Structure 1
Amino acid sequence: MNALKLRTKLAYGVGAIGESSVIWLFSTLAFFFYNQVIGLSGTLAGLAVLIATLFDAVSDPLVGSISDNFRSKYGRRHPFMFAAPLPAMLCIYLVFSPPVEMGQIAIFAWFAIFTILLRLSITLFTIPHLALGAELSDDYIERSNVMSFNNVFAYTGVIIMHVYVWFFVFPNIDGFEMGQLSRDAYPSIVFFSCLLIGTAMTASAFYTRDQIPNLKQAESRKDKNVAIRFFKDIYAVLKNPNYLYLLLGIFFLSILIGTHETLGLYMYTFYWKLSPIQTGWLILNNVFGYAIGFIVTSKLHQMFDKPIIIVISAILLSVFWSLAVILSLFGLAPEPASWDLVIFIIILGSVAAAGGSILHISVMSALADVCDEHELLTGYRQEGIFYSARSFFAKTSSGIGHVIAGIALDIINFPRGDINAEVTESMLFNLGLLDGPFAMIWGLIAAIFYSGY
C-alpha cells in the first residue's frame, strides 16, 4: 500500500476544506464578533474560547482512542467522519446567533456552550480524518505527499472563506465602511460556510470509503475498559521522546497562532486601517506561501532530515508573521491604509505562509513516522491517539493565546461594541507590541523544542 491514486489523495484532501473553514470562521471572526459587534469584554470572550478549547482538547484524545479501537464494517474512521457535518453546521449557526439584549454573563455562557458543542462536532471529523491520512500509505515520502494534499486543501478552505467574506460580504453592508462591525454581515457568512463545510466533509468521507478494505482494523486489546485503555494509551505515547519534543513545539507555536488569530482582525481594522477590499487582497500571501509549501516540501524531505526542516520553517513563520508590525513600530513600514502597505504585508506574509505550510506538512509527516516507531515497540497502530494528543496540546495552548490577547485588550482599554469610540495612538502602539514581538517570542521558543526531535 505505497503509491496512491490521485483520486484518493484528492478525496482525502478535500475534507480539510471543511476543517479549515470552521477553524478560519472561528479563529478569525468569532472573538471579534463577540467583542466588537456584541460587546462582550475581551477577558470574557477569551475565557469562553479557553473553556471551549479545554473541553475540546480533552475530547480529542478520547475520540482518537475510541476511533483507534472502533470496529465496524465501515472501518475505524469513516463512521465518525459521516456523523460530524450535520451537528457542526447547526452549532455554527447558533454560535453566530446569540439573542439580543443579553447581559455579559449570559452572552459569555452562550458563546462558551455553543463553541464547546461546535468544537466537539468538528473533533468527530478532524481526528479520524488525520488518522486516516497516516494510514493510507506506509511509505515515508508518500505520506508527505498525502499531507501535502491535505495541507493545500486546508488552505483552499481558508482562501475560499477569506475571499467570500472580504470581497463579497464586508464591503457591501449598507451604512458601514467596515462591514465587519455590523451584525447584519454575519448571517450570509454562516449560511455560506455551512454549505461549504457540509459538502467538503461529506464528500471526503464518501469518496475515500473505497479504501476501507485496505486499512488496518482495530487490534484485539486485553483491556476492555474504555477509560483504563484511554489513559494507558495516553501514557504510552507520551513516553516517546520524539513525540514529546514535537508536542512541546506545537504547544508554544499554538500560543503564537492563537495570539495572531485573536488580534488579526483588530490589526486590519484599527492598526493598519485597511478597507475590506484591501484586507481581501492579503490572501495573496497565503496563496503564494501555501503553493510554495505544497511544491517544495516533499523535495526538501528527500534532501534534508525532517527535524532540520521543521526548525527552520518554525523560525521563518515566527519572524516573518510579526515582522511587518515590528518594522512599523520603528517607523519602517508604509503608511496605514495605503496600497504600498498592502504589498509590503503580502511580501513578508508570503515568507511566513511558506514557512507555516512547510512546517505543518513536515510535522504531520513526522507524526506518522512516530506512529510507525510506536507500532514497532508496542504492536499497536494508534494514529488516532497520536494525532489527538497533538491536537490536545495545540488547542490548549491556542486557547491560552486567545485568553492572553483578550485580557491584554481589556488592560489597554481597547473599546468594544461601539463603532464611534476613539482608538488612541497609545492603544494602537500597545496592540502592535502584542501582535509583533510578544507573539513572535512564543514561536521562537517552539523552534527550540522542535530542535530536540
Structure 2
Amino acid sequence: MTVASPAVPPKLGFFARFFYGFGSIAYGVKDIAFRTYLLWYYNYIIGAPPALVSAAIMVALIFDAISDPIIGQISDQLRTRWGRRHPLMYASAIPASLSFVLLWFPPPGLEGAALFVYLVVLATAVRTFITLYEIPSSALAPELAPGYDDRTAIASYRYFFGYLGGIGLSFITLFYFMRPTEAYPVGQLNPDAYLAFGLFGGGLMFFSVVASTVGTHHRIKYLRLQPNRDERKSAFQTLAMMARTFSNRNFLAILSFGILKYSAIGLTSALALYFGTFFWGFSNIQLAILTLEYLVAASLALAVAPWASRLMGKRNAAFVLAVLAVVMGALPFILRLNGLFFENDDPRLLPAVFAIGAVYSLCGVSSAILVHAMIGDVVDDSSLRTGRRAEGLFYAANSFMQKSVSGIGVFAAGLLLSVVGFPEKARPGQVPQDVINTLAIWYIPILMALYIGGASFLYFYRLRRADHDANLEAIRQQETGAAE
C-alpha cells in the first residue's frame, strides 16, 4: 500500500526548528563523554589499561551495529496516535540519562574482567537508549523540511545544539568541576570532577530530550503514515527489505565517507586531553577556553553550511570542507614538530591553537551538516526506487556512523597510546618528550588518511539539486494519485 499523504503542513517556524535541534544537546553530551573523557577517566582515574577501555568501547559499538537498524526499522513501522517517532523519543529520556550517570560511578575495587564487563554493559546501555531518541528524532527531518536548502538549514540547528551540549558541558567541567585543589593541583586528575560531570550530564540529557520531544509534538499530524498493520513481513523479508534500502549507491557513498571521517574525529577527541596536557602543556582553564572553539565553529556553521551548499552544492561543499578541515587539524602539530610554532610558555600559543582549531572545527562541522542534509535527499530518492519511506533505517545508519567516533576512534587512540609506550597515570613533566612527539608523529598521517580517504568516497554521490527537485515532484504526484 502506498504511504498516505499527510495534511498540508504550515511553514516550519523558528521555534519548531529550535526544538528540533535542541534535543541534540543529549547526543552532544554523550558524544563529548565518549570521545574525550571516557578513555581518560577509566585509564587515569580508575587505573584501567587503555587497551582494555578502548576494547570495551569497541564491543559496545558492535552491539550498536545491531541495535541501530532494529530501532530504525521499529521507528519506520510503528503506528500510534502519537505517530511513529515521538513514543520512542519519550521512552528514551529516563533510561538514557540514568545509564549515563551510572557509567561514571563504577563500584569501588572493580578491576580486570569485572571492570571490563561493567564498562561494556553501561556503555552499551547509554548508546542504545540515546539511539532510541536520536534515530526517530533525526528521521523527522525529511518531512519537517522537504526543500533542498531547508534541509541544510534545519541540520545546522541540530549540529549547533549538539555542539552546544557537548562543548558547554566540557567547558563547565574544565572550568569549574576540574578546578585545581591542594590534593589535585592538576584538575584533570581529580576523581570528584568526573562524578559531577556524570550527574550534570545526565540531567542535561533528560531535560533536552523531553523539551525537544514536547516541542515538536504539534507536528505529528503533518507526518506521513505507514502501511497498514496487516502488511506483516517475516524476519527474512524484513532483512531483505533493509538490504535493498541500504544498497542505494548515494547512501553508501555517504556512509563510507562518514565512517572514516568520524573515526578521525573520534581519534582527535580521545587524544585531546593527552595532547592538551602533555604536548601543549595547557592548564585546565586553558583547556576550557579551547573548548569554546567548537562553539564558535558551530555558531558560524549555521551560516557557512547553507552558504556553501548554495554555492557549490552539498556534495562538493562537503568534500572541500573536509579536506580543509584535516589540513587545519594537522597544521599546528606539523609546525611544532618542525620547530616553527610557539613554545609552551609563549603567551601567543593559546590564541594560535584556538584560531587554527576554530577553523578546523568550522570546516568539519559544516561538512557534517551537509552530509546530514544529504541523507534526507537520499531518503526521497530511495522511496521512489523501493516504494517505501525508510527515514528510520537511513538515520540509524547515520547514527551508527557518528557513534563510530567513540568506538573506532577511541579504540585506535587506546592502541596508539600502547604502541608509543605512553606511561599510565603520569603527571605533566613525567612523560619523556620523545614519547609525546612520537604520539604526534603517528597521529598526523592517520588523521589525514582517514579524512581524505573518506572524502574520496563522495565522488560516488550523484544527487544534485535538480535530481532532488525532480524526486520531490515525483513523490507529490504519487501521493496525489494515491489520495485520489
TM range (shorter): over 0.9
Q: Deviations over 1:245-275 (max 9, x none)?
A: 1111011112211211211111111111100
Cα distance in 2, alignment partners of residues 288 and 190 from structure 1: 25
The verdict on how the C-alpha distance between 1:424 and 1:418 changes in structure 2, with shifts beyond 3 A counting, is closer
Q: Mapping of 1:240-319 within 5 angstroms?
A: 240-319=248-327
The answer to whether 1:74 aligns with 2:82 is: yes
Q: Does 1:433 align with 2:441?
A: yes
State which of 197, 200, 203 in structure 1 corresponds to 2:211. Answer: 203
Distance 2:346 2:106 in 1: 36
Residue in structure 2 matched with residue 324 of structure 1 by the alignment: 332
Alignment partner of 1:183 out of 156, 166, 191: 191
Cα offsets for 1:130-184 (capped at 9, x unmatched): 1012221221121111111111111211231122111111124442222121212
Superposition pairs of residues 409-420 of structure 1, within 5 angstroms: 409-417=417-425, 419=427
Percent of aligned positions that are identical: 31
Displacement of 1:352 in angstroms is 0.9
> Aligned-pair distance for 1:226?
6.0
Give distance in 2, aligned partners of 1:313 and 1:232. 36
Q: Does 1:375 align with 2:383?
A: yes
Q: What TM-score do you get using the length of structure 1 for normalisation?
A: 0.95
Residue by residue over 1:8-40, the C-alpha shift from the partner in whole angstroms, topping out at 9 and shown as x without a partner, is 111111101111111112211111100111111
- Give the distance between the partners of 1:187 and 1:174, measured in 2 at CA: 19
Give me the TM-score of the superposition, normalised by structure 2: 0.89
Moved more, 327-336 or 413-422: 413-422
2:201 corresponds to which of 193, 199, 224: 193
- 2:135: which partner in 1? 127
Aligned-pair distance for 1:438? Answer: 2.1
* Paired residues of 2:103 and 2:123 also in contact (CA < 8 A): yes
Question: What secondary structure, in the 3-state scheme, does the structure 2 residue paired with 1:451 have?
Answer: helix
Going from structure 1 to structure 2, the CA distance change for 1:220 and 1:41 (only over 3 Å counts) comes to same
In structure 2, the partner of 1:24 is: 32
Structure 1 letter corresponding to 2:14: L
Measure the CA separation in 2 of the matches of 1:60 and 1:16.
Answer: 17
Q: How does 1:72-221 map to 2 (within 5 A)?
A: 72-220=80-228
Q: Which has the larger radius of gyration?
A: 2
Taking the aligned partners of 1:168 and 1:105, their CA distance within structure 2 comes to: 34
- Distance in structure 1 (CA, Å) of the matches to 2:52 and 2:210: 34
Deviation, structure 1 residue 379: 2.2
Change in CA separation of 1:64 and 1:18 when aligned onto 2, cut-off 3 Å = same
Contact 1:165/1:189 (8 A) holds in 2: yes
Query: Which amino acid counterpart does residue 356 of structure 2 have in structure 1?
Result: L
Which residue matches 2:374? 366
Give the length in aligned residue pairs. Answer: 453
Contact persistence 1:223–1:229 (CA under 8 A): no
Query: Take 1:433 and 1:372, find their aligned partners in 2: how far apart are those partners?
Result: 44
**Aligned match of 1:444:** 452
**How far off its partner does 1:446 sit?**
0.9
Question: 1:256 & 1:412 partners in 2: Cα distance?
Answer: 18
What is aligned with 2:23?
Answer: 15
Distance change (3 Å), C-alpha of 1:117 and 1:106:
same
The CA deviation string for residues 194-221 of structure 1, in whole angstroms up to 9 with x for no partner, is 1111111100001110000001122237
Contact 1:65/1:233 (8 A) holds in 2: no
Contact 1:40/1:417 (<8 A) preserved: no
The answer to whether the 8 Å contact 2:266/2:407 transfers is yes
CA distance in 2, matches of 1:114, 1:321: 32
Indicate how the Cα distance of structure 1 residues 141 and 91 shifts in structure 2: closer, same or farther if over 3 A, else same: same
> 1:50 aligned to 2:58?
yes
Are residues 267 and 64 of structure 1, via their aligned partners in 2, closer, same or farther at CA, if it must alter by over 3 Å?
same
For the residues of structure 1 that align with 2:343 and 2:35, how far apart are their CA atoms? Answer: 27
Tell me how far apart the structure 2 counterparts of residues 68 and 352 of structure 1 sit (CA, whole Å): 36
The 5-angstrom pairing of residues 346-361 of structure 1 reads: 346-361=354-369
Distance 1:397 1:147 in 2: 19
Q: 1:337 to 1:193 in 2, by over 3 A?
A: farther
Give 2:473's aligned residue: none
For 1:437 and 1:393, locate their aligned partners in 2 and report how far apart those are by CA, in whole Å: 22
Could you say what the CA RMSD is over the residues aligned between the two structures, in angstroms? 1.8
- Mapped contact 1:3–1:142 kept (Cα < 8 A): no
Deviation digits for residues 308-356 of structure 1 (CA, Å, limit 9, x no counterpart): 1010011122221222122211122211254321111111111111111
2: CA distance, partners of 1:276 / 1:396:
27
Equivalent AA in structure 1 for residue 188 of structure 2? Q
